[in-house]
Structure formats: structure tokens, C-alpha cells
Amino acid sequence: MAIAIKPWPDRATRESFPVLSQRVHDHPLVYLDNAATTQKPQCVMDAMNQFYQADNSNIHRGVHELSERSTRHYEEARIKAQRFINAGDWREIVFVRGVTEGINLVAYTFGRRHIHEGDEIVISAMEHHSNIVPWQILCEEKNAVLRIAPINQRGELLLDEFENLLTLRTKLVSVVHVSNALGTVNPVAEITSIAHRHGVPVFIDGAQAVAHMKVDVQALDCDFYSLSGHKMFGPTGIGVLYGKTSWLNQMPPYQGGGDMIRSVTFAKTTYNELPYKFEAGTPNIAGTIGLGAAIDYINGIGLDRIAAYEQELLAYATAQLERIPGLRIIGTAREKAGVISFVLEGVHPHDVGTILDREGVAVRTGHHCAQPVLEWFGVPATTRASLAFYNTRADIDALTAGLAKVKEIFA
Ligand SMILES: Cc1ncc(COP(=O)(O)O)c(C=O)c1O
């Protein structure tokens, strides 16, 4: 008996993202800017509204019912985040604003404690500015050195050359899991294992990974991992820094203020236990609850299913775009996620993006906060289409039809 395979994403799934059903410039919206930020399902907005409508109160300090509820929901989100990336302990989940803050936190705290004059930090040539600039600031302050692991023409990290950079002076490796500019999926387990062989801890920037593939920080054995809620169907202004307890315990606090203290006198302050030592001040409570709802939502679909579908859609999109004369894809790694950066001969990416917008197709153009890697490829900017599981082949067809228009106009 033939089994009917249900089309995916089905209508109900698409409809759970209200923003997707609108028209833009008189065309149905085709949203292909998911690497910049993802859309939010209704359940995420509902969870945040519910918090403000029914439970709004500050956390950790009230004895009243509302505060107890807020605290419970906030801490439940931490457990959800712990399970989502399979951290061994809930104390290893620090809520931050996003990956940028996660990296800055480690640069300021781990960096302050462990980086000294002449020490070296290794990053890759394909990093987002968020994983470059905090280390540059730290290196400048400490007279330390930032080393860059090179990539090949496909946009893949050269593992041998990466390993050659590791010396007795290397104190940290920080690499991106999935490149937002190229789509490259880095072999982060292997990178971590190589770095650990040299006694060097590893930070992984997971901004573009967690909504598209299963991440297990214990299996990766990385020392730090960071994610942003808004890139995984959650709200802006909330993210997670995962750190192994052994490192977090050694690190000084990031910011001083409420919640991160155990006791304060004018003579001396002692700090709270993990993870609160790193969560100064009233946090983004509603955002944290929204992140928890986004995790539930992703789990409800299943990351295996999402990953398989996106790979299929990426293959389709790549094949369609490769057929367009004069179009060159920047970033052709063998392991790729749903990011397609490209240049179109004779047309500035900004013009490509503007014409696509008139067709209702939202893509990103520019340097994608990854100027060094675009410079390495010899292009100042690209057009970038980035996928999420709610995109369809029809979205890709709208993109290629839009590109045909671009070519017509610039013919
Ligand atoms: C690879 C990568 N790292 C870091 C970031 C910064 O994330 P956020 O702006 O959420 O802090 C981004 C955002 O685009 C990214 O793509």
C-alpha cells in the first residue's frame, strides 16, 4: 500500500507564523533573511503576552504569588535550554542578550583571568564581527595576539593549518559553528578535539546552528557555546551562554549589580553561585520565557526533520541559482547549512536586494557583519538568501524569478 507523504511545511505550520501571510509590494512575502533573524510563531508571542498579562513580576526576590510564578517560568526556560543543547548541568546555562554578549562575557571574564601578555587567541577567517572584535579589544588591552586560521576557496577551514597555529601560547580557540556569510558548517567536534589535544579550551559561536541542527555540547565537548533566541524563532534580546562549570567557576563576574551577589558590604562583596554570578540586574524575563516557548516549538517539530528538510531545500535552491548565467555562489563548502551568498555579474548586491524587495522577496545584501571573509573572497558585498524550515520550493522559485527580473533590468 502506498503511503501518502504529507507536504512539508504544511499550511498550518506556515500559518503559525503570522508575519509570513502578508503581502509586500503587492506580492506574497517570501522571507529569505533567516540568518539575520527568524520569524516568530504565535505560541512564542502568546507565551510572552501571557507573562505580561498574568504573571508580570520581578524574579528571585519576591515571596508573593506573581514573583514565584515569574521565577518558576524563568527557571523552567533555563532547564529547557539546558536540555536543548544537552548541557550536563542547569548551572552551566547563563542567560545573556545573544551571542554577541556571550562572546563579550567570555572575553571580559575568561579573558581578564587567563589571557596575559604574549598569549594567543585563535579564530577562523570566516568569523562574524561579534567573534572578532571582542578578541581584538582583549588582545589590545592585554598585549596578546589574535591568530587567524585560514580557509580554502570553498570556504572550508584548513584543519592542518589550524592545528599548526596552536602553540604553548594559545589560550583560547573561538570558532563559528555555521558561517552566516558562507553557510559553511565547521567540524566543531574535530576542532575541539584538536584544540584539547593542545590543552586549549574552545568557544563555539552557535548563532546560525541551533535552529537548523541538533547541538549536543557534551558530545562536542566544547568549553563554551553561545546562541541567540531571535535566530531560533524566539524573541530578540535573549540568548544563552553555555560554559563548563569548571571554567565558569574560575571566571570573575561580568557585570556588578543585583542578583549576582551573595552579600554586599562597603568593605567586601561576595558573589552568587552559578549561573547567577553572571546575571546582574533584572533580566529579560519575558524574552527568556519566549525563548523557552521557541525551544518547545522546535522540539515539537524535531530538529532531525528540520535539518533533513533544509538540506533538501538547500540542494534545490543551489541547483536553481547555479543555472543563472553570471551568478557566482560565494561559499561552496561540502558541509553547508541553508545560507546561499552570491554575486551577480555586473549588478551591485544592493540593487539586487532592492529589486527583489519590489517582488516581495526579502534577502540581505552587504557584508553580513563578516567583512574579512568577504574581502578574502575579493567581494565587498554579496546577496544572501538564508533558509528556515518554513521556506518552500515556491519561495526559491520566487527568488529565481526575481533574479531573472534583475537581469532583465540590467541587461
Ligand atoms: C555567526 C554569527 N555570530 C554572531 C552573531 C551575533 O548574534 P547576535 O546579533 O544575536 O548577538 C550573528 C548574527 O548575525 C551571527 O550570524
**Which residue(s) pair with 241 in the sheet?**
94, 226
Determine the pLDDT at residue 21: 96
Closest residue CA from atom 15 of ligand 1: 207
Taking the CA atoms of 12, 17, 19 and 24 in sequence, report the sign of the dihedral they define.
negative
If we measure between CA atoms, which residue out of 352, 384, 354, 351 comes closest to residue 367?
384
Q: Sort 148 into a burial class: Cβ within 10 Å, 0-12 / 13-18 / 19+.
A: middle
Closest residue CA from atom 9 of ligand 1: 100
Write out the H or E segment, with its range, that includes residue 93. strand 93-96
**Helices (H), ranges, 33-185:** 42-50, 65-84, 99-114, 133-142, 159-165
- Ligand 1 centre and the CA of 349: distance in Å? 21
Which set of grid coordinates corresponds to residue 271? 558573589
- Ligand 1 centre and the CA of 342: distance in Å? 20
Which mutation among 180, 210, 226, 368 tests ligand 1's pocket best, with the greatest number of atoms within 8 A of CB?
180
Mean pLDDT within 360-377: 96
- Ligand 1 centre and the CA of 130: distance in Å? 7
Q: How many residues does the chain have?
A: 411
**Which residue(s) pair with 24 in the sheet?**
27
Residue 411 has pLDDT above 90, yes or no: no
Nearest atom within ligand 1 for CA of residue 180: 16
CA distance 248 to 271: 13
Which mutation among 34, 37, 38, 99 tests ligand 1's pocket best, with the greatest number of atoms within 8 A of CB?
99
369 among known catalytic residues: yes
CA distance 186 to 215: 13
Residue 123 has pLDDT above 90, yes or no: yes
Nearest atom within ligand 1 for CA of residue 127: 1
Residue 37 has pLDDT above 90, yes or no: yes
**Angle between helix 349-358 and 393-409 (nearest 10):** 120
How does pLDDT run across 304-323, given as a tens digit for each residue? 999 999 999 999 999 999 99
Q: Residue 210 — pLDDT band, cuts 50, 70, 90?
A: very high
Model-wide pTM > 0.95: yes
- Ligand 1 centre and the CA of 69: distance in Å? 31
Q: How many helices (H) and strands (E) does the chain have?
A: 14, 17
- Percentage of the residues of the chain whose pLDDT score is greater than 90: 96
Closest residue CA from atom 12 of ligand 1: 207
Backbone φ, ψ for residue 124 (5° rounding): -105, 170
Which set of grid coordinates corresponds to residue 32? 529569505
Which mutation among 130, 188, 291, 387 tests ligand 1's pocket best, with the greatest number of atoms within 8 A of CB?
130
Residues with CB under 6 A from ligand 1: 35, 98-100, 128, 130-131, 176, 180, 205, 207-208, 228, 369
Determine the pLDDT at residue 62: 80
Contact between 107 and 82 (Cβ < 8 Å): no
Q: What is the dihedral of CA 339, 345, 347, 350, to 10 degrees?
A: 20
Nearest atom within ligand 1 for CA of residue 239: 10
Mean pLDDT within 360-366: 97
Which set of grid coordinates corresponds to residue 47? 507565551
C-alpha distances (whole Å) from 287 to each of 47, 48, 50, 215, 252 are 9, 7, 12, 21, 26
Backbone φ, ψ for residue 153 (5° rounding): -65, -25
Mean pLDDT within 225-252: 98
- Ligand 1 centre and the CA of 204: distance in Å? 12
How does pLDDT run across 242-299, given as a tens digit for each residue? 999 999 999 999 999 988 989 999 999 999 999 999 999 999 999 999 999 999 999 9
Residue 6 has pLDDT above 70, yes or no: no
Give one DSSP letter per residue of 206-240, joined into a string.
Answer: -TTTTTTS---HHHHT-SEEEEEGGGGTS-TT-EE
Which set of grid coordinates corresponds to residue 335? 558541509
**Which residue(s) pair with 328 in the sheet?**
343
Residue 2 has pLDDT above 60, yes or no: no
More confident call, 62 vs 179: 179
If we measure between CA atoms, which residue out of 88, 79, 77, 134 comes closest to residue 111?
134
Mean pLDDT within 404-409: 97
Determine the pLDDT at residue 55: 97
Q: Residue 61 — pLDDT band, cuts 50, 70, 90?
A: confident
Give one DSSP letter per residue of 135-153, joined into a string.
Answer: HHHHHHHHT-EEEEE-B-T
CA distance 384 to 366: 8
CA distance 267 to 141: 28
Nearest atom within ligand 1 for CA of residue 37: 14
- Ligand 1 centre and the CA of 35: distance in Å? 8
SS3 label, residue 390: coil
CA distance 169 to 156: 25
Closest residue CA from atom 14 of ligand 1: 36
- Ligand 1 centre and the CA of 66: distance in Å? 34
Which set of grid coordinates corresponds to residue 346? 555586473
Contact between 231 and 92 (Cβ < 8 Å): no
CA distance 4 to 383: 37
How does pLDDT run across 133-192, given as a tens digit for each residue? 999 999 999 999 999 999 999 999 999 999 999 999 999 999 999 999 999 999 999 999
Nearest atom within ligand 1 for CA of residue 231: 10
Determine the pLDDT at residue 81: 98
If we measure between CA atoms, which residue out of 140, 85, 82 comes closest to residue 107?
140
Q: Please, what is the average pLDDT of the chain?
A: 96
SS3 label, residue 45: helix
Residue 110 has pLDDT above 60, yes or no: yes
Nearest atom within ligand 1 for CA of residue 228: 10
Q: Residue 3 — pLDDT band, cuts 50, 70, 90?
A: low
Q: Pick the catalytic residue: 43, 139, 222, 369?
A: 369
